[in-house]
Amino acid sequence: DVVLTQSPLSLPVTLGQPASISCRSSQSLVYNNGYTYLNWFQQRPGQSPRLLIYKVFNRDSGVPDRFSGSGSGTDFTLKISRVEAEDVGVYYCMQGLHWPYTFGQGTKLEIK
Amino acid sequence: QVQLQESGPRLLKPSGTLSLTCAVSGASISSSNWWSWVRQPPGKGLEWIGEIYHDGSTNYNPSLESRVTMSVDKSKNQFSLKLTSLTATDTAVYYCARDVSSDQQLATWGQGILVTVSS
């Protein structure tokens, strides 16, 4: 299975400050069509996961533009430009190229 | 607006069988999407169980493949998950989810259902 390793696992952030989460894959996530199937999900406390970013950098509908994704090959990053209170929760990267699809361990974002 | 709703028994005994259904509203189960199941043990991360297409094609997680069966019921616009030989480690919130497109994987999720396996 493809292993996704996230860091940090815990992320205390001051309101209004930026935040960054890394996700490294044990295998390339580039398909032969040239697209890279790395997604980011947000799970707020007590809620279902929500797709934030698909194919590395594409924001899903309704996702604020303070969220951005970047990276290539096996190394990816989710950035929040200015953290707001509603951003508290756990963030997961997920690869959707190799079966079985796999998730990172999750990064818990909290307000400092 | 597409909505997914999981239903099924919430308390099961070890060695028993889990049977869950995901009712789809706002979209046809026969649309060009994959329909997935994902689970999350209490306080832990997400595990992809598998996916099914409207024609019955499936992809399962090898770690569960010997115990998992997914099916689609077009007449009821729903899809289902069956997991056999349950143990306490199968205790989890089970989510159904939908790919909006081949690009937007797991873009729509149900609210989840907590299934507890205990004697």
Using the beta-carbon criterion (under 8 Å), do B45 and A99 form an inter-chain contact? no
The tokens for B114 are: 């907590």
Q: Which chain A residues touch B62 with a CB distance below 8 Å? A: 1, 100
Q: State what percent of residues in chain B have pLDDT above 90.
A: 92
- Please name the residues between 97 and 116 in chain B that touch chain A, using a CB distance below 8 Å: 103-107, 109-112
Give the per-residue pLDDT at B31.
85
Q: What's the whole-number mean pLDDT along residues A46-65?
A: 97
Query: What distance in Å separates the CA atoms of residue B79 and residue B51, rounded to the nearest whole number?
Result: 10
Using the beta-carbon criterion (under 8 Å), do A49 and B109 form an inter-chain contact? yes
Q: Exposure string (b/e) for A79-101, b if CB count within 10 Å is 16 or more?
A: ebeebeeebebbbbbbbbbbebb
Q: What's the whole-number mean pLDDT along residues B34-61?
A: 97
B50 interfacial to chain A (CB closer than 8 Å)? yes
**B81-110 per-position pLDDT tens digit:** 999 999 999 999 999 999 988 888 999 999
Using the beta-carbon criterion (under 8 Å), do B106 and A60 form an inter-chain contact? no
Q: Is the pLDDT of residue B32 over 80?
A: no
* Residue in B46, B103, B111 nearest the CB of A92: B46
Q: State what percent of residues in chain A have pLDDT above 90.
A: 100
Shortest Cα–Cα distance, B15 to chain A (Å): 25
Are the C-beta atoms of B113 and B10 separated by less than 8 Å? yes
The chain-wide mean pLDDT, for chain A, equals 97
Q: Which chain A residues touch B38 with a CB distance below 8 Å? A: 49
